[in-house]
Chains A and B, each alone.
Chain A
């Protein structure tokens, strides 16, 4: 390959990197903004994953292929999965409340953010940041070897301390997440005794089946026409009709009217 060809190739590579940088910058900043604007915690986790994957590509552009892989494996793979696991336990439906506990806190936080942004931009704007020097082998093919040499020579003590930190963290998590069993575990005999004593030895009644509605979310009707509340799983009724609304009840009333036909029309209050 001629000298000119190499130069042209480098030029094309630089332009590709520039396009990739601006693309990833826009994606990651908008994902980060979405993270603080979206109300559901799960969406936040997914948007954070987007930011982290963008950062991994940026690391690769900056000549850190090792860190790019560590970012994908450790952050996106392990840390975010841990976040999602805990979200599943803590409650996937949990939303942030809009109520401000401290008055004007959001405005103050926004102003503080703008102030921080101005401060940092001024500081960085005053610093002289020249163009990147020519890429050496340590930022390319020999990146992993060079980092390994640094970690196991210059930074070997911090590296060893890191292992102590990780073991302590694992132990701490085990201690914090462990729950002591305070009462003995119930055997099958205990459970059957409890069931007999509870007054409901048989299974709960099944939901009603109607012409126009799905069976599982509509309560069955008792002989006197009133709905049997315990025939619908509380989780289903919570999802279908959140507390405060009477959607389920009204739909059931409609259904009843249809079922009873013209006989009830005279006694209709409306």
Chain B
């Protein structure tokens, strides 16, 4: 089983996450799909680390996890303040600039 299989799985998960970001309307679910994409990229990093026998890939995956955790904290806080103002988590409802 070569690391190529893992990279292929990472590609599939990344594409599913990207389609989810484009299709879904709920901001929470969009966030989750972004997390899925980040996880897919992490899997690719770890697979490449194994392929090249170089631990740098694992360290970068670790940093990606840290940044993703920070991103989730701030993003969810923004989402909550939007929800407080508009009583809705749908991205379609935040359309004040249009009118």
Contact = CB atoms under 8 A, between A and B. Distances in A.
B59 A150 contact: yes
A44 interface: yes
Contacts of A101: 25, 92
Contacts of B92: 97, 101
B95 to A, nearest CB: 9
Contact of B90 (A97, A146, A179): A97
Interface stretch (A116-124, A210-218, A253-261): A116-124
Contacts of B58: 64, 66-67, 143, 147
Interface in A136-182: 136, 138-139, 143, 146-147, 150-151, 154-155, 158, 162, 165-166, 168-170, 172-173, 176-177, 179
Interface residues of B, number: 68
Given A67-B61, A132-B51, A169-B70, A36 B19 contact: yes
B69 A64 contact: no
A257 to B, nearest CB: 40
B20 A62 contact: no
A106 B35 contact: no
Interface residues of A, number: 82
Q: Is the contact region of chain B dominated by helix, strand, or loop, or is it mixed?
A: helix
A70 B69 CA distance: 12
B61 A90 contact: no
Nearest to A146: B55
Contacts of B46: 58-59, 62, 64, 67
Nearest to B39: A55
A131 B2 contact: yes
Contacts of A138: 53, 55
B23 interface: yes
B18 A116 contact: yes
Interface of B: 1-9, 11-20, 22-26, 28-29, 31-33, 35-36, 39, 42-43, 46-47, 49-51, 53, 55-56, 58-59, 61-63, 65-74, 76-81, 83-84, 89-90, 92
20 contacts: A21-B5, A41-B26, A44-B32, A48-B35, A62-B50, A75-B39, A75-B65, A83-B31, A83-B32, A86-B76, A89-B80, A94-B26, A101-B92, A121-B8, A132-B51, A139-B53, A139-B55, A151-B62, A166-B70, A177-B81
Given A67-B58, A75-B65, A150-B59, 15 more contacts: A41-B89, A44-B32, A58-B9, A62-B3, A66-B58, A71-B65, A79-B72, A109-B23, A110-B19, A117-B11, A120-B14, A132-B51, A133-B53, A147-B55, A147-B62
